[in-house]
Amino acid sequence: MKKQEDFIICRCENIYMSEIDEILRQGADNARELKLKSRAGMGFCASRTCGPFIEALTQDHEEAPTYINLKAQPPIRTVSIEDFIKEDAHD
């Protein structure tokens, strides 16, 4: 059961702050590791909502330039007109 003061960090994957705290206590020290262990940032929005918070929480914005920050991508993919025409032909 979640505590009343607990709040959701990642709405897409339903990850709470208490889960993030536990992963940090277990030794995760950067946003990438936190993302991989919690699945925060792996949902539909591709970390556009929770990514900046996780990076700030782990202070990755202060890391050396060799660190790769979380990558945000659009949640949609392009579909060609040709693909639509093929679908209509099958109906």
pLDDT in tens, 70-80: 566 665 667 77
The reply to whether CATH 1.10.10.1100 applies to domain 8-90 is yes
Length reported for the chain: 91
Domain boundary assignment for the chain: 8-90
In angstroms, rounded to a whole number, what is the distance separating the alpha carbons of residues 30 and 80?
38
Those residues with Cβ within 8 angstroms of residue 76's Cβ, 6 or more apart along the chain or in another chain: none
Q: How do residues 1-10 score in pLDDT, each as one tens digit?
A: 466 678 888 8
Q: Identify the pLDDT of residue 1.
A: 43
Q: What is the pLDDT of residues 9-65, one digit of tens each?
A: 888 898 999 999 899 889 888 888 888 889 988 888 888 888 888 888 887 655 554
- pTM of the predicted structure, to 2 decimals: 0.58
Map the chain to HEC letters. CCCCCCCEEECCCCEEHHHHHHHHHCCCCCHHHHHHHHCCCCCCCCCCCCHHHHHHHCCHHHCCCCCCCCCCCCCCCCCCHHHHHHHHHHC
pLDDT at 65: 46
